[in-house]
Chains A and B, each alone.
Chain A
Amino acid sequence: MENQQTPAPSKHDGHPHIPGWGADLDHKNRPAYPKERTPPRLEGIHWDQPQQQPQTVEILHSNERPDITPIFGTTVPPSGFSGMIRRAAFKYSENDMRHWLMLLFADRVNMLEGLGDDLMKGHVPNIFAEMGMKSELKYNRAGFIRKAAIATAVAGLGYYWLKHRKD
């Protein structure tokens, strides 16, 4: 039971250099205490159940729930081959490793699709800039040169290997 009397002097009062030390030791000072409380300390609710958001794009939903939720995001609906993989992944539950592994695989496929989309639109992605290499050059020049040297060496070895194989 919470002690309602004035607390005894703390054995750790030796923290005057720390602003705010112990300010929340007493639960009475903490409007967020306890961690869970019903009803919630919220203002502005004027619904029992949120109104259903109209569905305008394809939304995949976990098979651990009966249907889509009343509120959802609509960004980047599934599309292309990665979308097919995602749809297949959602046939498995969140409890099934295949669900997550297929989604990760779809993400990698989607990355290639993104490159293809860029090229189809006539946009050659500046991967150097997208990876923030300008800042690498500015703040870590030695690291940048090392990475560039490794990349060049790998590319050179690959080229040599391919050329050698043809011979």
Chain B
Amino acid sequence: MLAMDYRGPYRVRATQKPEPTIEHPNDAIVRVTRSCICGSDLHLYHGMVPDTRIGSTFGHEFTGVVEQVGPSVEKLKVGDHVLVPFNIFCGTCFYCQRELYGNCHNTNPEATAVGGIYGYSHTAGGYDGGQAEYVRVPMADIAPTVIPKEMDLDDAVLLTDVFPTGYQAAEMGEIEEGDTVVIFGAGPIGIMAAKSAWILGAGRVIVVDHLDYRLEFVKNFAQCEVVNFLDVRDMAIHIKRMTDWLGADVCIDAVGGDASGNFLQTITGKKMKLQAGSATALHWAINSVRLGGNVSIVGVYGPTFNAVPIGNAINKGLTLRMNQASVKRHLPRLIEHIQAGRIEPRKIITHRIPLEEISDAYHIFSSKLDNCIKTVLVPPGQFH
């Protein structure tokens, strides 16, 4: 089968690989119909995530048709068209019993700090991902969700990570009616977080980025205010000026370790890799939120360490909440939001690229070429 093949930082290609097989009685094999490149895939692509092995296939956002099921699968049927949450989870461990599916303790032998994730290095369990024609889906009876008949496939694939992660970012902000919410990052997650902040009752939503085309997009898609940080001398002062010198009620870091905007963070975090990515967005979030406010982190950082103003967080009495999204928990309500027309996630898709052209797809997304916001990869024979 054709699959994405990681060859080293900034180098990927499409290669023929063996098709996956049933390895556990509750596995399914899914023929991929859509997969996405996620902003967090760029951390892998840039060589920032430890134990990213050459020959790996990335991709944790995908939909597909069930081709084969293992002997213990009872619920999922061959032919079901499913969306597959990016979390690989067992449903019964200490954490899954608390609905923390992103923290499952039974699916990732290589690390205890994170559960299994498709195509996200051996630090997340060593699974191949969905940027391929076929993929192995463990725990097939609980994770995949059959796509509602009337749902657009492009909306469905964005329910595997992007929309739930954006929504959980807003949820973890504990937004109260009328709150001012500042979101750092106008990428797909930041865009979804902005929309979700309104759904949760925010009174004001401000998105910060440095790419004008993304700010223009989010302004129209999520009807929010925008700030280009290149036009701002000091982010904390700017946000305080915008909020009667108090600061925002809620700040969301929707960027993670690939943030721009601070020379020292960029050099030490991204270029020299002396810390687990550049923590500029988190730094700004902590310093821009009001005293007693909430900071929500969904941007991805590596497992080592980062330089952030934790002393300010203490002195300001902040609540910091963060996690990988627990996708399965959110799906019923988010499907309702799409069906009710409150949000059309598919509108963020700017590029549909054949899987065969994956090298260009990654470069376009990574370098923000051609006003790229979200890239969907289409396996051979799936363009329709």
Chain A interface (Cβ < 8 Å from any Cβ of B):
10-12, 15, 17-25, 29-32, 35-51, 53-54, 56, 59-62, 64-65, 67-76, 78, 82, 86, 90, 94, 97, 100-101, 103-104, 106-108, 110-111, 113-115, 117, 125-127, 129-136, 139-140
Contacts of A36 in B (CB 8 A): 98-100
Please tell me which one of the listed residues A22, A73, A104 contacts residue B273 in the complex, with CB atoms under 8 A apart.
A104
- Could you tell me the distance between the alpha carbons of A100 and B195 in the complex, rounded to whole angstroms? 36
Report the minimal beta-carbon distance from B364 to chain A, rounded to whole angstroms. 5
Chain B interface (Cβ < 8 Å from any Cβ of A):
7-13, 23-26, 47, 50-57, 72, 74-75, 88, 90-92, 96-100, 105-113, 116, 122-123, 125-128, 138-139, 141-142, 171-172, 177-178, 195, 198-201, 203, 223, 273, 302-305, 326, 328-330, 332-333, 337, 340-343, 359-364, 366-367, 369-370
Q: Say whether A50 contacts B112, CB under 8 Å.
A: no
Q: Say whether A19 contacts B341, CB under 8 Å.
A: yes
Report the minimal beta-carbon distance from B310 to chain A, rounded to whole angstroms. 18
Q: Say whether B200 contacts A73, CB under 8 Å.
A: no
- Could you tell me the distance between the alpha carbons of A17 and B302 in the complex, rounded to whole angstroms? 39
Q: Say whether A75 contacts B56, CB under 8 Å.
A: yes
* Majority DSSP secondary structure for residues of B touching A: loop
Q: Say whether A130 contacts B105, CB under 8 Å.
A: no
* Majority DSSP secondary structure for residues of A touching B: loop
Q: Select from chain B the residue with minimum beta-carbon distance to A117.
A: B54
Q: Say whether A73 contacts B10, CB under 8 Å.
A: no
Contacts of B223 in A (CB 8 A): 17-18
- Could you tell me the distance between the alpha carbons of A97 and B113 in the complex, rounded to whole angstroms? 14
Q: Select from chain A the residue with minimum beta-carbon distance to B302.
A: A100
Q: Say whether A59 contacts B109, CB under 8 Å.
A: yes
- Could you tell me the distance between the alpha carbons of A40 and B112 in the complex, rounded to whole angstroms? 21
Q: Say whether A86 contacts B178, CB under 8 Å.
A: no
Q: Select from chain B the residue with minimum beta-carbon distance to A57.
A: B126
Q: Say whether A59 contacts B50, CB under 8 Å.
A: no
- Could you tell me the distance between the alpha carbons of A21 and B179 in the complex, rounded to whole angstroms? 13
Q: Say whether A21 contacts B74, CB under 8 Å.
A: no
- Could you tell me the distance between the alpha carbons of A14 and B273 in the complex, rounded to whole angstroms? 46
Please tell me which one of the listed residues A17, A25, A43, A90 contacts residue B177 in the complex, with CB atoms under 8 A apart.
A25
Closest 3 CB pairs of A and B: A132-B363, A20-B342, A73-B127
Contacts of A39 in B (CB 8 A): 97
Q: Select from chain A the residue with minimum beta-carbon distance to B176.
A: A25
- Could you tell me the distance between the alpha carbons of A84 and B342 in the complex, rounded to whole angstroms? 52
18 A–B pairs (Cβ distance < 8 Å), ordered by A: A11-B178, A12-B201, A19-B341, A20-B198, A23-B199, A30-B333, A44-B74, A47-B26, A50-B24, A51-B72, A65-B112, A103-B51, A107-B52, A110-B8, A111-B9, A129-B13, A130-B11, A130-B13
Report the minimal beta-carbon distance from B28 to chain A, rounded to whole angstroms. 12
Q: Select from chain A the residue with minimum beta-carbon distance to B74.
A: A46
Q: Say whether B90 contacts A73, CB under 8 Å.
A: no
Contacts of A12 in B (CB 8 A): 177-178, 201, 203
Q: Say whether B50 contacts A75, CB under 8 Å.
A: no
Given A32-B332, A45-B91, do A37 and B198 touch, yes or no (CB 8 Å)? Answer: no
- Could you tell me the distance between the alpha carbons of A86 and B273 in the complex, rounded to whole angstroms? 19
Q: Say whether A41 contacts B329, CB under 8 Å.
A: yes
Report the minimal beta-carbon distance from B11 to chain A, rounded to whole angstroms. 4
Q: Say whether A60 contacts B367, CB under 8 Å.
A: no
Q: Say whether B113 contacts A35, CB under 8 Å.
A: no
Q: Select from chain A the residue with minimum beta-carbon distance to B97.
A: A38
Contacts of A139 in B (CB 8 A): 364, 369-370
